Structures are given as C-alpha cells and as structure tokens.
Amino acid sequence: MTEISIRQPDDWHAHLRIGSLSESVIDLFNVYGRVVCMGNLADPIDNLHKIISYRSNILSSVDFLPIIGAMLTKNSTLEKWIKITNLLYGRVFIKYLPEGVTTNSESGIAWPELENYYPILELAQDRRIPFLIHAEIDRDLKTGELIPEIAREKAAVPYVEKLARDFPELIINIEHVSTRAMVDLIMTHDNLSGSISPNHLAHRYEDVFDEQGNLFNVHKYFKPVAKAKYDQAAIIAAALSGDKKFFFASDSAPHYQADKEKFQKAGAFNALTNLTYLCEFFAEHNALEKFEPFVSESGARRYGFPLNDRTIKFRRETWTVSLIYRGIVPDLAGRIMKWKVIE
C-alpha cells in the first residue's frame, strides 16, 4: 500500500500560543477540522472576555474550528461559567491545570482545593461540558516534598479516582495520559477517557534524563515527562487497542529555540510530524485500520461532535524533518519519516 485516505482528523489538545510564536505555527493546524486551543497563557484565558478575544484572534487566520480550553483558576466562579456556557456552548471546554505542575499553572487550583469549585463541575456535568485534566501532582501533600517528575501522574491517580466517583456523569478526559496506572484507572470508570500524545509513543524517560534524573535533552522535555518502557508499553497498547476511550491529541507546545534552551521550558513542538508519525506508527504495528478511528473518530464521538466530512491523503514517501522551523526546534528533528500528507 503506497497511499491511504482517512477522514479529516481533529487535534483535541494543542498550544497555539500568542503573538509571533503563534503566527509561526498556527497554519500547520489547518489540516484538522477542530482544534482544542489551550488557554494556559501567561495571562490565563479564564473569563468570557478573554475567551472571545482569543478565539476571535485564532478564527481570523485559520480554516479549522477552534474550541477553547478555558482555564479553571482561582478567579473562576459559577456565575462566570454560566455566562461562558450560555454564550459559547460547544465552543469551550474546561481545562484543569493543578497549581504548579506545568507551564503557566501558577493560577491553577491545588487538588485539595478543587472541592471548592464543585459547583462549576456540577454545571459542566449537567450541560455536558468536557472537563480536561492535566493529571499530575508535584508535591506530597503530607510532607510538602517535591515528587520526582516521572512519578507525578501516578501520584494523581487517587485524586482523579475521587473526582470520577464524585461526578459519575461528568465527561472527564485525562490529557496526554502517560502511565500504566492512569490507563488502568480510565478502564475502570465509564466517565473517564484519555487522550494520547505522540510524545509518549515516541520517547522514553532515558531519552530526556540521565540516571540521576538530570535533564540532558531539553528538546524532548515535555509534561508529563516521557516514561520508562513499562509505562510507555501501556500507552502504546492503549493507542493500538482500538478502544474508543483513547484518542489523539498532539499537545504540541512550541518555544523558540533560544527560550527553550536557556530556560529549560517544557513542551515539544510536534505539529510538523504528528499525523505522519502516527501513520507510520500504526503501519509498523500492522494496524493501519486503527489509524483513522484514533485520529478522526473516537475523540469527536467522545465529545459529542459530528465526524468531519473532508478527507486527507497520505503517501508512502520519505522526507526529513527540519532541524529548525521558524526559530523552533521540531520534535523528531532530523528524523527520516516514511509517510507524508499530500492533500
């Protein structure tokens, strides 16, 4: 087989940034029908005015439908979210970044304080608004000690499980799932699903950190961090399973090379290679029939959207990923890819 066509995919988690950085990458997302645009900017997108402004800026230069992942922050109130959902239902999801776990999460809410915002989650449950979770915890809540980055998602499992039990009808998605423990939890609760980033299929912990846990490859540093073989195998199995609970979301998160290297910022810019990498991934596992459901169907069905009408085509053709793209180091830079999007 040298060419395949699939239904137009969606990207259910992407960081489009703002300003010149956004302008450098946003056109790459026009291959998708819908993109969930994350709102964890330096000034978090967490109220109606900011959501409308950010969404309007995106709409002015793209072909896809932007859905804003608006932040649940310490400034959030039930009244604000009623206004948001009344005006933008179907165009906004709720994104939960626990305080301190990743880029621009300073205004996030600590796990123990989340119960104070349960009225907002009750609204989301009643109105079928997806609740997207970056499921990590960075400190032991009893001792205050930092939890190693590789262990932070597993440490969040009890908190996610409590939330799933407290809100049995809430659409809860674990973003960029990266551990066997979280996959196992998702499988035990009907209201849980998990999006999978190519980051966690392509990279392992030892590609990023040395034996002492020191970061040595900042361009493969993203959060949750890449995991060891045991956990990566579970993510690969989930992606290949065909289970509708698991679907594609890129978590593409660009930084200019200078900023990435100087400040060791977390985030991988994988927008150049996502779909071609995944086509190659499924082909090499003799599972090309599961490629289209993973990228184009399961996520839309999970969130209650119709499937896209357009198709896109891939050709078996080699090409080399750029070492630098508009000032950004791409994920898989220098790698020879085996498939290419041609239309």
Q: pLDDT per position in the chain (343 positions), as tens?
A: 799 999 999 999 999 999 999 999 999 999 999 999 999 999 999 999 999 999 999 999 999 999 999 999 999 999 999 999 999 999 999 999 998 788 777 889 999 999 999 999 999 999 999 999 999 999 998 899 999 999 999 999 999 999 999 999 999 999 999 999 999 999 999 999 999 999 999 999 999 999 999 999 999 999 999 999 999 999 999 999 999 999 999 999 999 999 999 999 999 999 999 999 999 999 999 999 999 999 999 999 999 999 999 999 999 999 999 999 999 999 999 999 999 999 7
pLDDT of residue 39: 96
Nearest Cα to 45, choosing from 9, 92, 98, 113?
A: 92
Instruction: Report strand pairing: 311-320 vs 336-341.
Output: antiparallel
pLDDT of residue 36: 98
Token pair 């009225």 in the structure block, residue: 119
CA distance 271 to 154: 27
CB 43 within 8 Å of CB 67: no
pLDDT of residue 127: 97
What's the token pair of residue 226? 């890449």
CA distance 273 to 94: 27
Peptide bond into 224 cis (omega under 30): yes
- How many residues make up the chain in this entry? 343
pLDDT of residue 78: 98
Token pair 């994988």 in the structure block, residue: 270
Nearest Cα to 101, choosing from 133, 142, 137?
A: 137
Instruction: Report strand pairing: 246-248 vs 311-320.
Output: unpaired
Contacts of 274 (CB under 8 A, 6+ apart): 11, 198, 248, 250, 252
pLDDT of residue 101: 84
Q: Is the dihedral of CA 221, 281, 313, 2 positive or negative?
A: positive
Amino acid identity of residue 133, one-letter, is I
pTM for the full predicted model:
0.97
CA distance 45 to 51: 6
Note the helical H segments in 227-326: 229-240, 257-263, 274-284, 291-292, 298-303
CA distance 148 to 215: 12
Instruction: Please report how many Cα atoms fall inside a 13 Å half-sphere around the Cα of residue 8, on the Cβ side.
Output: 17
| Structural Rg of the chain based on CA atoms | 19
Nearest Cα to 130, choosing from 52, 67, 219?
A: 67
Active site residues: 251
pLDDT of residue 318: 97
